[in-house]
């Protein structure tokens, strides 16, 4: 959660909420990193840097995500501690055919796990019984049909669901914002609360080395824009202020898919940042739009 600056290509996605995602139990984030700011034309530090995807296709970083549970407990918004557990490639990545989900505030890597990239056998090691190979519940990830893995701004279709192998009804879940929840904030900024709460497991530092604690963290940011070139009704731009470790916080690599809350409801999922320092602004793909809710409701039923 931007927690402080992060590492490259974080991977994660998860809309998720309250108990299951642990929003209320997540630790507040105060320390973040340092880095240069960003501009919406994407010319800082080179190019726009997508935060990653929980779905994982080859080349994507492993995701940890938790899951937001829908009414019947069987379709979960790609959410926090989810890790793909498919076929591992020689590079150590996996095919996006399966995910394992944890409902925890802190996750430790199984001591018997060594990735293929590091010379180990990855999840093929029978001695590995925990993260990142075996979770509390498993499921099948489903990405938006128009998602192509590229940062196709402004509409990235950066949203996905996980269909659980079995219902989970005891973890609790957050409420999805109603259609158009954020729209009034585009013009009546002075009359509305512009603060949002963001949650994730992403990197806390990028310089001089990547730093990440596997803890669920949260931070309070402010909505900056809903109608710019990069947002245009599809995304929400929020502040990201590490403040040399003393700022309010923000998102970074590894937070992708984590929920963005406004008035206690999920209004977006963390999607991308504009530079390698996660400094200046973060962007979330809105869940209160007709195109997002049509996709989500197709899994939830009546």
DSSP for 66-125, written as a single string: -EE--TTSSEEEE-SSEEE-SPBPTTS-B-TT-EEE---SB----TT---TTTTS-GGG-
Instruction: Tell me the pLDDT band of 193, cut-offs 50, 70 and 90.
Output: confident
> Residue 186 has what pLDDT?
86
> Residue 133 has what pLDDT?
87
Q: Is the pLDDT of residue 61 over 50?
A: no
Instruction: Show the beta-strand stretches assigned E in 130-216.
Output: 137-143, 160-164, 175-176, 195-200
Token pair listed for 292:
């997002």
Task: Name residues whose C-beta falls within 8 Å of residue 4's C-beta, 6 or more positions apart in sequence.
Answer: 29, 31, 32, 33, 203, 204, 205, 206, 211, 242, 245, 249, 252, 278
Q: Is the pLDDT of residue 287 over 90?
A: yes
Instruction: Tell me the pLDDT band of 6, cut-offs 50, 70 and 90.
Output: very low
**Which comes out higher in pLDDT, residue 9 or 72?**
72
Number of other CB atoms surrounding residue 116 within 10 Å: 17
Q: What's the whole-number mean pLDDT along residues 4-9? A: 30
Residue boundaries of the structural domains of the chain: 18-300
Query: CATH code for 18-300?
Result: 2.40.10.10
Q: What's the whole-number mean pLDDT along residues 275-290? A: 86
Q: How many residues does the chain have?
A: 302
> Residue 145 has what pLDDT?
92
**Which comes out higher in pLDDT, residue 172 or 13?**
172
Q: Is the pLDDT of residue 82 over 80?
A: no
Instruction: Tell me the pLDDT band of 157, cut-offs 50, 70 and 90.
Output: very high
Whether the Cβ atoms of residue 287 and residue 177 lie closer than 8 Å to each other? yes
**Weakest-pLDDT range from 68-82, 168-182, 209-223:** 68-82
Q: What's the whole-number mean pLDDT along residues 262-289? A: 87
Q: Is the pLDDT of residue 70 over 50?
A: no
pLDDT tens column, 31-46: 222 223 333 433 332 2
**Which comes out higher in pLDDT, residue 265 or 37?**
265
Whether the Cβ atoms of residue 158 and residue 146 lie closer than 8 Å to each other? no
Instruction: Tell me the pLDDT band of 293, cut-offs 50, 70 and 90.
Output: very high
Phi/psi for 298 (5° steps) reads -65, -15
pTM of the predicted model, to two decimals? 0.67
Q: Is the pLDDT of residue 78 over 80?
A: no
Q: Is the pLDDT of residue 104 over 70?
A: yes
Q: Is the pLDDT of residue 68 over 60?
A: no
Whether the Cβ atoms of residue 66 and residue 42 lie closer than 8 Å to each other? no
Q: What's the whole-number mean pLDDT along residues 80-90? A: 46
**Which comes out higher in pLDDT, residue 54 or 278?**
278
> Residue 105 has what pLDDT?
72
> Residue 18 has what pLDDT?
28
Instruction: Tell me the pLDDT band of 254, cut-offs 50, 70 and 90.
Output: confident
């Amino acid at each position: 959660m931007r927690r402080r600056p992060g590492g490259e290509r974080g991977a994660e996605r998860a809309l998720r909420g309250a108990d299951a995602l642990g929003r209320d139990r997540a630790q507040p984030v105060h320390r973040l990193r340092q880095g240069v700011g960003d501009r919406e034309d994407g010319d800082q530090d080179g190019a726009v840097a997508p935060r990653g995807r929980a779905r994982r296709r080859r080349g994507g970083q492993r995701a940890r995500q938790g899951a937001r549970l829908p009414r019947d407990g069987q379709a979960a918004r790609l959410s926090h501690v989810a890790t793909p557990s498919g076929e591992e490639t020689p590079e150590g990545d996996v095919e996006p055919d399966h995910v394992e989900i944890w409902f925890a505030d802190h996750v430790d890597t199984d001591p018997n796990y060594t990735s293929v990239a590091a010379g180990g056998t990855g999840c093929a090691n029978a001695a590995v019984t925990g993260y990142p190979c075996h979770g509390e519940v498993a499921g099948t990830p489903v990405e938006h049909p128009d998602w192509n893995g590229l940062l196709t701004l402004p509409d990235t279709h950066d949203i996905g669901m996980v269909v659980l192998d079995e219902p989970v009804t005891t973890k609790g879940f957050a409420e999805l914002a109603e259609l158009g929840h954020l729209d009034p904030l585009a013009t009546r900024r002075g009359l509305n609360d512009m603060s949002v709460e963001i949650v994730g497991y992403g990197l806390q530092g990028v310089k001089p080395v990547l730093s990440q604690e596997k803890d669920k963290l949260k931070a309070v940011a402010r909505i900056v824009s809903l109608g710019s070139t990069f947002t245009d009704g599809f995304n929400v731009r929020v502040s990201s202020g590490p403040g040399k470790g003393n700022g309010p916080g923000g998102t970074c690599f590894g937070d992708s898919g984590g929920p963005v809350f406004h008035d206690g409801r999920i209004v977006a999922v963390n999607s991308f940042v504009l530079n390698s320092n996660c400094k200046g602004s973060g962007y979330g793909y809105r869940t209160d739009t007709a195109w997002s809710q049509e996709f989500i409701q197709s899994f939830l039923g009546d």
